[in-house]
Amino acid sequence: MTNLIPPAAIFIVGALFIPLIKGKLKRAYMLFLPVFAFITLVKMPEGKYWIVNVLDYGLVFGRIDKLSMVFGYIFTIISFIGVLFALKVKDDLQHVSAFMYAGGALGVTFAGDFISLYIFWEIMAIFSTFLILARKTKASEGAAVRYILVHLFGGLCFLAGIVLYIQNTGTIQFEYIGLNGLASWLIFIGIALNAAIPPLHPWLQDAYPEATVTGAVFLSALTTKSAVYLMARTFAGTELLIYIGAGMTAIPIFYAVLENDVRRVLAYSLINQVGFMMCGIGIGTQLAINGTVSHAFCHILYKALLFMSVGSVLHMTGKIRCTDLGGLYKTMPLTCLFCMIGAASISAFPLFSGFVSKSMIVSASSHEKLIVVWFILQFASAGVFHHAGIKVPFFTFFGHDSGIRTKEPPLNMLLAMGIAAFFCIGIAICPGPLYDILPYPVHYAPYTGAHVVGQLQLLMFGALAFTLLILSGYYPAEMRAINLDTDLFYRKAARLFYYIMDKALNGLNSFSNRNIAEVLPAFVGGLSKNPVTSLVTYFMRTAGKDNLAIEDFKRETRPEGTNLIPMGVPVLISMAILFLLFLVFALKI
Amino acid sequence: MKKELKIFDNPRNVKRLLGFFYFSLLVLLIVDFFIHKHAEFPWEGATNFFAVYGYVSCVLLIFIAKILRIFIKRDENYYD
């Protein structure tokens, strides 16, 4: 059965009606949209749908296959959870933006051609910006401007690549691209920027922590994962991605250890997790792609859960820095529990969702005998437990008692967290349904004795290191500070650019003002007052023959009567020239 | 307002938790001797390899992060 409405359209058109509806009906309507989109998706058989012919091109709004379906499912599921979490927000701008943004992500997922893909890609960039702006602080404003500028840059690379690609191949349809030639590199950079591949990543840790409490949930789920989807479709098996991915898993965890803002810690661990996915895409075997896709699915849920739980803390206390928080388990036990479930899932503890997905990518690396990559991935696995698994819950809910006494967030927020937590545990206990929807048949058993014990050892002895370091006082102290990242280059460079432009252009301006507006007219004025006298005097002086200068010509002794040309002469000449011009044009006509 | 949880205000409870934690580590070390392994790499098969690697990784992580902090730490208003 073919539905008449593509899922992206359900979101994007549906979003337009949100401001028109009020009260309980509005809440019901917002919750209904993702459910409706999900139901239409479930019934879709594979194939290409919603083909619209524009000019000579056939736009494909529905490329339905196993890869796109997984992402379609998870994007609608997370939209439902995100909307439920944001249900009581009284800002229509945020609701509409969130739906447009999620609609854009669905559009990207199901786009079968480059033109509609690019349009949805930019819809995502624009409407996600509003989720940052809507926080309405000075910091969020600055972050949002940097965010959109960076994404417009990425979008332009992407567009340039697309135009070249269409020029080269003559078709707007796309499948596997692979790295060869300028067009593919530009497309690759465009996707890489959205996937937050270092050094193109700093927009993520810059902007997400400044977003609204509810907006961050959508942000954490959609932009990077739609890029993961696109990368998996177009660049699977690109060897470069293995090394990029491995580096991406390791670098952010050092920052995460030092970071003070809890949501920024989560942003760094988001980059780390996407690194696992990039690595899987680079390896490109069936096991690796399955691992990547299932990890994206699980990751969206537990990362959203983590952002929701610390977002609840921010919502209830107004504070988000490690230095300001601590001891909140006393008054927010449920939020604390949900946070710990998210933390256990991202750390890939057995019986939590990360365990059944991430391990596929790690196994794929060992199947391909990628020794160094395997060691880095294991290091990153221990590291992610260290900062996202322990640090976030510990400094927020335990650690020193900050003295803050608050209460649990509203019921809708708790429910949204509860659903995400349910998925995190449910997928781990019963991974079958997830494995069934993966792109390739799954022959993978996560729960072997060696794997469970190995993983537990890796994590628990990482925790031992944390415990001993905390008890010994060697652990890096929580500090009110920021850490330099590659955004330094554009944040400081922008300032440098401004400084240079300021000095150069304003310097030129004042130079012009001084010389052209003041000195030159005075000189010309003096010259035109008595041209012949002045020129002769000037000539004599330059020639060093001051003695030849007629006394009358010397400025100081010059009598009034030496004006050789009466005022009327220049006027006459001007009139003559004007008449000449008139004649020239008149004759031409 | 609901009653506060104060379970970790009592130092004895913290000690109990730590005791349980150390005990579980010990169990993990012992269990590893009896696990059948089918390793891709030779070191994966070594007993308690993951315990050592997990511990060393995290100590290294903190050690490098502390050095990194010297170079990248800036005041909170650095960009303002």
Per-residue pLDDT band for B77 (boundaries 50, 70, 90) equals confident
Task: Round to whole Å and give the CA distance between A229 and A65.
Answer: 12
Q: What is the CA radius of gyration of chain B?
A: 21
* Interface with A, mutate which of B58, B62, B69, B73 (most A CBs under 10 A): B58
Task: Round to whole Å and give the CA distance between A380 and A250.
Answer: 5
SS3 A481: coil
Closest by CA position to A512, among listed A520, A524, A522, A500:
A520
Cβ atoms of A188 and A235 within 8 Å: the answer is yes
Q: Following CA atoms A222, A137, A393, A413 in sequence, which dihedral angle do they give, to the nearest 10 degrees?
A: -60
Residue A319 lies in a domain: yes
Ramachandran sector of residue A170 (left: φ over 0; alpha: ψ -120 to 50; beta: rest):
left
Task: Round to whole Å and give the CA distance between A67 and A440.
Answer: 9
SS3 A54: strand
Which residue range forms the structural domain that includes residue A352?
Answer: 236-481
DSSP string computed for A357-409: HHHHHHHHHHHTT-HHHHHHHHHHHHHHIIIIIIIHHHHHHSSS-------PP
Check if B14 contacts A (Cβ < 8 Å).
Answer: no
Residue A38 lies in a domain: no
Check if A137 contacts B (Cβ < 8 Å).
Answer: no
Residue A148 lies in a domain: no
How many structural domains comprise chain A? 1
Closest by CA position to A286, among listed A225, A368, A373, A347:
A368
- The 10s digit of each residue's pLDDT in B16-44 is 999 999 999 999 999 888 888 777 888 88
Report the chain B residue with the minimal C-alpha distance to residue A460: B25
Residue A537 lies in a domain: no
Judged against a pLDDT cut of 70, whether residue A548 lies above it is answered with no
Residue A343 lies in a domain: yes
The pLDDT of residue A513 is: 86
> Which residues make Cβ contacts (< 8 Å) with residue A172, sequence separation at least 6?
A57, A58, A59, A113, A114, A115, A166
- Which of 22-41 (B) contact A at CB < 8 A? 24-25, 28-29, 31-32, 35-41
Residue A213 lies in a domain: no
- Sign of the four-CA dihedral A352, A358, A360, A363: negative
Cβ atoms of A298 and A417 within 8 Å: the answer is no
SS3 A567: coil
- The 10s digit of each residue's pLDDT in A443-487 is 888 898 888 999 999 999 999 999 998 888 888 887 888 888 888
Residue A395 lies in a domain: yes
Cβ atoms of A201 and A140 within 8 Å: the answer is no
Residues of chain A found within 8 Å of residue B21, distances taken between Cβ atoms? 460, 463-464, 467
Determine the distance from the C-alpha atom of residue A390 to the mean position of all C-alpha atoms in its chain, rounded to a whole number.
26
- The 10s digit of each residue's pLDDT in A400-444 is 888 888 889 999 999 999 999 999 999 999 999 999 999 999 988
- The 10s digit of each residue's pLDDT in B43-70 is 887 888 999 999 999 999 999 999 988 8
Token pair listed for A569: 């002469």
Cβ atoms of B53 and A385 within 8 Å: the answer is no
Q: Is A452 exposed, middle or buried (0-12, 13-18, 19+ CB in 10 A)?
A: middle
Question: Which phi and psi angles does A499 have, rounded to 5°?
Answer: -65, -45
The pLDDT of residue A16 is: 94
- The 10s digit of each residue's pLDDT in A174-232 is 889 989 899 999 999 999 999 999 889 999 999 999 999 999 999 999 999 999 999 99
Omega of the bond leading into A199 within 30 degrees of 0 (cis): yes
* Interface with A, mutate which of B61, B68, B76 (most A CBs under 10 A): B61
Judged against a pLDDT cut of 60, whether residue A559 lies above it is answered with no
Average pLDDT over every residue of A58-71:
90
Cβ atoms of A370 and A242 within 8 Å: the answer is yes
**Cβ-defined contact of B40 to A476 (cutoff 8 Å):** no
Check if A425 contacts B (Cβ < 8 Å).
Answer: no
Domain residue extents for chain B: 10-72
The pLDDT of residue B32 is: 87
Residues of chain A found within 8 Å of residue B32, distances taken between Cβ atoms? 453, 457
Residue A114 lies in a domain: no
ipTM over 0.85: yes
- The 10s digit of each residue's pLDDT in A89-138 is 999 999 999 999 999 999 999 999 999 999 999 999 999 999 999 999 99
The pLDDT of residue A554 is: 47
